[in-house]
């Protein structure tokens, strides 16, 4: 029986080194690999490139790595909630590559599927397309975007089994599934880890073939990124 379980986050991140490229799943603060990020902070890895839709907030998520200046380059789509990110970008301390959200997702999925590149209409005629190959298909122009190359993908799922099969919940399905199998090593942390056979095969979002290591997360804060309330009448 296949068993991809590792004892803890420390074992899950064995092999992580300075200068590597990491994918980190989630959308905003939903479904982010909190335990893996905390371990990266503890390991104090430097000069890393992070591929993630968001850059966290100042004191949570990838914001923790930014605080310690562990990130050399950030590849993201939305970065508007992090003052330290803004400071480092404007001062030239942090290299930033901003990518349309759909393109970010598809470059992950291309890597997952083994495709070297994709053509997308997003960004044609803008700064996004500068220096890139363009091509016309059926009268419409497209931009060539290369698949990502990453050393590790860190994802967070709601449930998983010992074989690495994963089920995501709600907004956590944004980017996490596309990053599974899109790096040399995919590490999945889960809220619930169950024996093989307990997950309904019809409910599994990512099969275990895309996951190399899985562990049960020790703690999740589940913060609300933006809380909006209305005044009582």
Question: How far is C-alpha 20 from the geometric centre of its chain's CA atoms?
Answer: 14
DSSP strands (E only) in 52-163: 71-76, 95-98, 117-120, 134-137, 140-146, 152-161
How far, in Å, CA of 213 to CA of 3, rounded?
9
> H helices then E strands: how many in the chain?
6, 11
CA separation (Å) from 163 to 47, 121, 156? 32, 38, 15
- Provide the 8-state DSSP code for 136: E
How far, in Å, CA of 205 to CA of 143, rounded?
29
CA angle, 218 as apex, 187 and 14 as ends, to 5°? 35
Q: Which pLDDT band, with edges at 50, 70 and 90, does 117 fall under?
A: very high
What radius of gyration, in Å, describes the C-alpha atoms of the chain?
18
pLDDT digits (tens, 9 = 90+) for 179-202: 999 999 999 999 999 999 999 999
Tell me the pLDDT of the chain averaged across its residues: 94
Neighbours of 6 (CB within 10 A): 17
In the chain, % of residues over pLDDT 90: 81
Q: Give the chain's end-to-end CA distance (angstroms, integer).
A: 60
pLDDT digits (tens, 9 = 90+) for 22-57: 999 999 888 999 999 999 999 999 999 999 999 888
Q: Who wins on pLDDT, 228 or 173?
A: 173
What lies within 8 Å, CB to CB, of 208 at 6+ separation is 2, 4, 161, 163, 164, 165, 166
Superfamily, domain 9-117+148-216:
Glutaconate Coenzyme A-transferase (3.40.1080.10)
Residue 158 has pLDDT above 80, yes or no: yes
How far, in Å, CA of 110 to CA of 35, rounded?
26
Neighbours of 144 (CB within 10 A): 14
What lies within 8 Å, CB to CB, of 4 at 6+ separation is 162, 163, 164, 208, 211, 212, 213, 214
The domain spans of the chain are 9-117+148-216
Neighbours of 52 (CB within 10 A): 27
Q: Who wins on pLDDT, 218 or 95?
A: 95
């Amino acid at each position: 029986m296949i068993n991809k379980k590792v004892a803890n986050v420390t074992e899950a991140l064995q092999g992580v080194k300075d200068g590597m490229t990491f994918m980190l799943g989630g959308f905003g603060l939903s479904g982010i690999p909190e335990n893996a990020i905390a371990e990266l902070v503890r390991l104090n890895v430097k000069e890393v490139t992070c591929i993630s839709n968001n850059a966290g907030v100042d004191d949570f998520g990838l914001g923790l790595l930014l605080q310690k200046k562990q990130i050399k380059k950030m590849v993201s789509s939305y970065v508007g909630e992090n003052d330290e990110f803004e400071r480092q970008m404007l001062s030239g301390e942090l290299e930033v590559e901003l990518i349309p959200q759909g393109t970010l997702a598809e470059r992950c999925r291309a890597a997952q599927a083994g495709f070297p590149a994709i053509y997308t209409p997003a960004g044609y005629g803008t700064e996004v397309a500068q220096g890139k190959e363009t091509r016309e298909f059926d009268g419409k122009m497209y931009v060539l975007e290369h698949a990502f190359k990453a050393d590790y993908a860190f994802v967070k799922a709601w449930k998983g089994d010992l074989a690495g099969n994963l089920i995501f919940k709600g907004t956590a399905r944004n980017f996490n599934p596309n990053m599974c199998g899109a790096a040399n090593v995919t590490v999945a942390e889960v809220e619930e880890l169950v024996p093989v056979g307990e997950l309904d095969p019809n409910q599994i979002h990512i099969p275990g073939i895309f996951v190399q290591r899985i562990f049960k997360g020790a703690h999740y804060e589940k913060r609300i990124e933006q809380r909006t309330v209305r005044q009582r009448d």
